[in-house]
Amino acid sequence: MLKQIDVGEVGERFSELLAQLAEGDEWLLIDGTTPVARLVPIATRVAALHPGAIWLSPDFDEPLPDEVWAGQG
């Protein structure tokens, strides 16, 4: 849920904002009526959630062919 807060109130309510971010809420920081920033929770990454979704080509670190550098590839 997106909530709004004036930038002047952020300091005194910082702990509250952090607690609500941890619960998944988002905050829009406003200066008067002008939006200046958006605070969003950091997504938690889970190791091995999608095994096989990322792969590296065996030649990923090989030099590119000259055709690529010449704009032909």
Distances in Å between the Cα of 3 and the Cα atoms of 7, 14, 44, 69 are 13, 14, 21, 49
pLDDT, tens digit, 9 for 90 and up, residues 2-43: 999 999 999 999 999 999 999 989 999 999 999 999 999 987
Q: Which two tokens stand for residue 16?
A: 């509250």
pLDDT band at 53 (very low <50, low <70, confident <90, very high): confident
> For the domain bounded by 1-41, which CATH number is listed?
3.40.1620
Q: Given this model, what pLDDT does residue 37 score?
A: 96
Q: Given this model, what pLDDT does residue 73 score?
A: 58
